[in-house]
Chain A
Amino acid sequence: MNASKLSLSARLTYRIMAVVLVMMAIIAGVVYVTVRDYMHEEAKGRYLNILLENHQELRRRLSNISVALNNNVHEIERDIDDPDKMFEHMERIVSENTSIACCDILFEPGYYPSKGRVFIPCARRDSADHIVVTRIDSTYNSFFYNDWFREQLQKDTCSWTKPYFESKMFAGNDEPRLLTTYVVPIHQRDGRPVALLAADMSLEKLRDRLMEDVKEINDQYEKGHRHQSYFVVVDMEGTLLLHPDKQRIMTNYDREIGWMMKANRGTCVTEVDGVRSRLYYRNIKHTNWVMVIVTPEDVILSNGLMLNIIILTVMVVGLVVIYLICRHQIKEIADPVAAQKAAIERELTIAHDIQMSMLPPATLDIPHSATTIHAMQTPARDVGGDFYNFFVRDNLLYFCIGDVSGKGVPAALVMSQACSAVQLLAEKETEPRHIVCHMNDMMTRHNDMSMFITFFMGILHLDTGVLNYCNAGHKAPYIIKEKGEVDILPVDRNLPVGAMPDWEFTSQQTVLEPGTTLFLYTDGLDEAENAQQQMFGKARIKEMLQSTAPYANTLTDRMAQAVADFVAGNEQSDDLTMLSVRYQ
């Protein structure tokens, strides 16, 4: 196992974790968005609900008053000539309608000459719930007789006034209440409007109720926040009508508000008093007022944030658990596999060394002779099926080259068999044909797999240059003459060793002149492929042989270099073996 690379189990684990991490990030994103939207919807529902209830309540009260007044118009107009009767009406109206705090009729100045310039019969419910009937005859409340009064009379319609604080005079010891007034025109018999019937309604109850509702929310949902929700009531022009802070009532709130809250009800986001807030609002029917709950955005988001954090934490914990389990499981499965692979590679390395030791060294020092021999081999995998052998006995140079069918471990097993066979047989025989025939006998026995070996056996007489040889299906060797001529040694067409039992192999003979070099090779040479799937080919071999100095070691070295250059790093697909013999 390479120490610089991650182990198989580590790589697998990290890949799986990467996928899981990406998935979890996506899920987390989806959850975050979903939770955030849900929180918004939930808050919206909550607040709009409060507004709805309060709206119903307010509408009911407003409607009670307007209906009550409108119902009494007829009776008042019937008694228009009798000013004293007005007091009765006032008292009755107030006593019959608990929503009405104060009721009066504002007559045109000087309408009843006997009563003076200002005549305003009035009935009022005080803080002890008693009804006080009086007459207002001072004009301290000058608004009664300014443009507003004249306009209302002229308009001859019913309407609600802008809220205002009651006068200290009426409030007495109590704090001035916030009131709004409904006015209904009163006509004399000829139909001309001459007075305004007015009833005041206290907005304190509404204020109290809204404050209560919002406080509930503050306590339940918004504990610990610097800014909490609160309510306001504004009119379309942006004047604050109701606010938790009494000081701010009737001041200007935000001119944009009327524009923002055009719809019947809904929500919008804006900055209010420096705090980014979400406004939930509802228009109050038949008035130009809007009920608003102002909620700082943080409050809404923070609830969602807590949920998100919880979910995220669970996910992270989950991730850690998955990682631990994954790593453990994968290690259990992958580590033995990696270990096995390492063991196999170790064994193959040893096998390679054993194979290499079966072969003679690359060259041989031949005493009393100038003949040289040089071999080179590179298996395609750790072990392969190519082999060669050479040795000198009784002034004869025995040399051979062989290529077992296939490659890798199967070929290597047969190769070791063949090596021993050749060694044993060559020690006794002098005739190549016999060696090959015996080899064939041995190899065809117990050969269920039909493995065969292409093989060339040569026996060179070192004094005479007579070469006896037998070629069993192997590629014919090249002969390079002293002057550089390259030819192919003529060979009979024999079967490979191990193909068919009882095959009659044939021997051949030739005489080598001094300075002749024999070049033997296996098909790993001419079939060596580069990245473009081109083969080295016999033409290139011939070319190399022609252009290289014909010394045994030079030929093999140069040829090896040429192939390496040609292949240029492409994976070697077959065992490559070369053997050069120079007769001198």
Chain B
Amino acid sequence: MKTTFKEEGKNYVMTFEGRLDTPSSVQVGRDMKVLYDCEGHDIILDCSAMEYITSSGMRLFLDLLKAAKGKGSKISIVGLNDDIRLVFDEVGFTTLFEIQ
């Protein structure tokens, strides 16, 4: 999985490309550390190029959410394909994150 990070105004944007499964979750976890310093910023997770996500990946999102909540930042997830959106729905993450 490939991740790209950029700042757009007040927002931290991270783009995910490829499959987020257990093996790649270790590296992605490290890549996402940069988002944890988000005081005063909102976070946008761009998943339009994400093909697949397992519970290991979803754990990373959950972890980020807890940190962001503590700092008062909002997390929105954009570009989920139908299959992944369904999974997020089943697990109830749609109530936790702002899904667009």
Q: Which residues of A contact B (CB under 8 A)?
A: 403-408, 449-452, 454, 472-476, 493-496, 499-500, 523, 573-574
Contacts and interface: CB of A to CB of B under 8 A. Distances in A.
Given A451-B59, A452-B59, A407 B22 contact: yes
Contacts of A403: 55
A493 B92 contact: yes
Interface of B: 21-22, 25, 54-56, 58-60, 62-63, 66, 89-96
Given A406-B59, A449-B63, A451-B59, A495 B96 contact: yes
B24 to A, nearest CB: 12
Contacts of A449: 59, 63
Contact of B62 (A407, A452, A475, A523): A452
A496 B91 contact: yes
Contact of A493 (B62, B66, B95): B95
Nearest to B58: A405
A309 B67 CA distance: 75
A14 to B, nearest CB: 31
A493 B89 contact: yes
Contacts of B94: 493
A494 B55 contact: no
Given A452-B55, A472-B92, A495-B92, 14 more contacts: A404-B55, A408-B22, A450-B60, A450-B62, A451-B59, A454-B55, A454-B91, A476-B90, A493-B89, A495-B91, A495-B93, A496-B91, A496-B92, A523-B55
8 contacts: A404-B55, A405-B59, A406-B54, A407-B22, A450-B59, A452-B55, A473-B92, A493-B94
A474 B87 CA distance: 10
A476 B90 CA distance: 8
Nearest to A453: B55
B56 A406 contact: yes
A573 to B, nearest CB: 8
Contacts of A408: 22
Contacts of A405: 55-56, 58-59
Contacts of A475: 90
Nearest to A499: B62
B92 A494 contact: yes
B35 to A, nearest CB: 14
Given A403-B55, A405-B56, A449-B59, A473 B22 contact: no
Contacts of B63: 449-450
Contacts of B25: 406
A333 to B, nearest CB: 26
B96 A499 contact: yes
Nearest to B83: A535
**Nearest 7 CB-CB pairings of A with B:** A405-B55, A450-B63, A473-B91, A495-B92, A406-B56, A405-B59, A450-B62
A27 to B, nearest CB: 43
Contacts of B22: 406-408
Contact of A495 (B56, B66, B89, B95): B95
A78 to B, nearest CB: 113
B18 to A, nearest CB: 14
Nearest to A496: B91
A496 B95 CA distance: 12
Nearest to B64: A450
Contacts of B21: 573
Contacts of A493: 89, 92, 94-95
A209 B50 CA distance: 95
B70 to A, nearest CB: 12
Contacts of A406: 22, 25, 54-56, 59
A84 to B, nearest CB: 121
Q: Which of A449, A452, A494 neighbours the largest number of chain B CB atoms within 10 Å of its CB?
A: A452
Nearest to A474: B90
B1 to A, nearest CB: 16
Which of A405, A406, A472, A573 has its CB near the most chain B CB atoms (within 10 A)?
A: A405
Nearest to A451: B59
B33 to A, nearest CB: 14
A116 B19 CA distance: 127
Contacts of B93: 495
Contacts of B96: 495, 499-500
Contacts of B56: 405-407
Contacts of A454: 55, 91
A523 B59 CA distance: 16
Contacts of A451: 59
A452 B90 CA distance: 14
A62 B47 CA distance: 103
Contacts of B62: 450, 452, 499
B13 to A, nearest CB: 22
A521 B4 CA distance: 36
Nearest to B61: A450
Contacts of A495: 91-93, 95-96
Contacts of B90: 473-476
